[in-house]
Amino acid sequence: MKETLRLAFIGSGTMAEAMIRIAIKAEVAVPQRIVASGPREERGQELHTRYGVATCTDNRQALTVDGGDVDVIVLSVKPQVMPTVLNELRGAIPPQALILSIVAGVNTKTIAQGLAHGAIVRAMPNTPAQIGQGMTVWMATSAVSEQQRDQARCIFQAMGEECYVEDEAQLDMATAVSGTGPTYVFLMMEALTDAAVHLGFSRRVAVQLVTQTVLGSVLFARQSGRHLAELRNMVTSPGGTSAEAIYQLDKGGLRTVLSKAVWAAYQKSVRLGAVVNGAASISASPPDENHRGEEERP
């Protein structure tokens, strides 16, 4: 499979580049069997120079590479662009191809209807995939063969950890937790670094203190297997500095703010998809109120 897999990327932005880099590094595919499609020729040139992959500006052209039909077609465009892309590709998908969509919010029903093609994997990766430390949550439609599942799993494992879910609603939930997750962590690290600078540390030292503290805490939590509250209690001596800090964090509503942020991201994911999912169901079938209700259920 490693030597023969042909991969197409429809949309060659940040996530596509991360996946291309990791697919080549992990030998999931060879550069001459990868093709990246996007509207800007200069972006294609950039990717060709960096990775040696084929590029094009016509999405349909990306369905063949190195003299053969592609095996996996990664949809890596923004949700708003999906209706255009689905229209362009409809009727041209090689029958044996697997569609692998990482597009936030757009559901498999919409993609299947839009492309008239059943074998679809929907996935939500995140940016640490760039260094093989990503978290990808994914599901597959019933038309996806065992071999295609293995191909998808192989790609996700090269990107880091993967978690298969049966319920598609969990893809929007994962978008808010792990897909958007690096944002919460980076923002928290940035705020901690600024606080350390405010205390008087140089920025270089502040960055080192914060980065290693976060990294060490994550590894410690993983290795110990203990509940996070237990680990936190271990650092919180009575009347000590942690207790004082936690009092302020609780007073400032950190938990509530985080919970609200995740909920807002979840709702945004559903809303972004609903525009496309709604448009697809309007053109393909009468509006289905129950289906829309499903999208809003966490």
Ligand X SMILES: NC(=O)c1ccc[n+]([C@@H]2O[C@H](COP(=O)([O-])OP(=O)(O)OC[C@H]3O[C@@H](n4cnc5c(N)ncnc54)[C@H](OP(=O)(O)O)[C@@H]3O)[C@@H](O)[C@H]2O)c1
Whether the Cβ atoms of residue 175 and residue 267 lie closer than 8 Å to each other: no
- Answer yes or no whether residue 79 interacts with ligand X by CB under 6 A: yes
- Measure Cα distances from 47 to 1, 14, 32, 44, 107 in Å: 24, 11, 12, 5, 29
Tell me the per-residue interface mask from 40 to 59 with ligand X, x by CB under 6 A, - otherwise. Answer: x--x---------------x
Q: Which stretch, 25-33, 119-127, 162-170, 209-217, contacts ligand X (CB under 6 A)?
A: 119-127
**Restricting to residues 170-209, which ones interact with ligand X according to CB under 6 A?**
179
> For the chain, give me the number of helices (H) and strands (E)?
12, 10
- The nearest distance, CB 16 to ligand X, in angstroms, is 6
Q: Which residues pair with 105 in a beta bridge?
A: none
Q: Binder to ligand X among 78, 90, 226, 255 (CB under 6 A)? A: 78
The number of residues that bind ligand X (CB under 6 A) is: 28
Footprint of ligand X on residues 215-234 (CB under 6 A)? none
Q: Closest residue (Cβ) to ligand X? A: 13
Measured from the CB atom, the residue of 12 and 193 that comes closer to ligand X is 12
Decide whether 48 or 232 has the Cβ nearer to ligand X: 48
The HSE-up count of residue 194 (CA atoms within 13 Å, CB side) is 6
Binding mask 145-164 for ligand X (x = CB under 6 A): --------------------
Comparison of 126 and 277: residue with beta carbon closer to ligand X:
126
Task: Identify the CA nearest to 181 among candidates 129, 217, 105, 223.
Answer: 129
Of 113 and 130, which has the nearer Cβ to ligand X? 130
- 3-state secondary structure string across 104-144: CCCCHHHHHHHHCCCCEEEEECCHHHHHCCEEEEEEECCCC
Q: Which of 70, 74, 85, 93 binds ligand X (CB under 6 A)?
A: 85
> Residue 26 contacts by C-beta under 8 Å, 6 or more apart in sequence?
132, 158
* The one among 102, 139, 144, 270 contacting ligand X by CB under 6 A: 102
Query: Which of these segments, 24-32, 73-81, 246-254, 257-265, binds ligand X (CB under 6 A)?
Result: 73-81
Binding ligand X (rule: CB under 6 A), the pick from 110, 113, 126, 148 is 126
Cβ proximity of 179 and 154 under 8 Å: no
The Cα–Cα gap between 157 and 26 comes to 9
Instruction: Report the residue number, 11 or 114, with the smaller CB distance to ligand X.
Output: 11
Separation of alpha carbons 280 and 288, rounded Å: 11
Q: Which of 11, 31, 44, 114 lies at the binding interface for ligand X (CB under 6 A)?
A: 11
The rounded distance, in Å, linking the Cα atoms of 269 and 176 is 7
Please report which helix (H) or strand (E) contains residue 9, including its range: strand 7-10
Q: Is 278 in the site for ligand X (CB under 6 A)?
A: no
Distance CA 107, CA 117 (A): 13
Binding stretches for ligand X (CB under 6 A): 10-16, 37-40, 43, 59, 76-79, 81, 84-85, 102-104, 124-127, 179
